[in-house]
Structure 1
């Protein structure tokens, strides 16, 4: 199982969207407090639609609590400050992919301690960053692709309608 970690997320709509993506991808969501919203907030539930109750989510008091409860975890840090892109690494089955809060990203002191596992999404020009929920989807689905989308539905089915021509 892949793990998505949000370090102090601020916007309930982003976290709701990410929760929905985690349900669709079979990933666990880890939330590191403080959060910029309450978990029962309407915007969070609206963005997550009716998937929030299916979400495997764990909440931590702070980063130290997260580290204590996940000793030895392989954690990739998504940051615009990384030298490697998200496609340059091989994601382990049970790895963690961490994203920072919308306004500031992952704190510099955490990044410095984990520089070898920092990854970035390439962007053109002076763009500061992508939307958090988009960033999570991009990196999570690359990790899933590397594992051949195991246990996921790979085929869709069209419903053939009989159209009446006049």
Structure 2
């Protein structure tokens, strides 16, 4: 399996062909299917974050940082982290390379992993943290493995898209039948 999660082209074409003829009759069909798919993908992402190896209170915080956005005409749904600062009132602001750490950066580090700096000499607590991190066998540097909750979610989004398309087709098929019955009665 490749490192990049991609959708199968034939499945996407099948998805689009299902909605081709409905676009003229019911323009909201695609928007409803995309909305349903986006919400299902967000539920899957939240489940992946809950299963991740994080502290319990951190899981809720990371879930609250995720944002589901929709296109203006319902053409797409996107999940991404907020672009705001991770600063909490009463806490010392965190910085990285002289700039404030954003929620988006923290989410990226949790997703992909990050390096671990060497602990200060004599700091027992820091050495315990280093012991839990991995060791790169080529460079000898320590790192924290990524939780990959976005990557796992990407792999399941195609199934959610097809399910949403099927449900939308059922709903709008019922509407078409109603319209035909009203026309003949």
Instruction: Please say whether Structure 1 and Structure 2 have the same fold, judged by a TM-score greater than 0.5.
Output: no
- Give the helix-richer structure, 1 or 2: 2
TM value normalised by structure 2: 0.22
Larger radius of gyration: 2
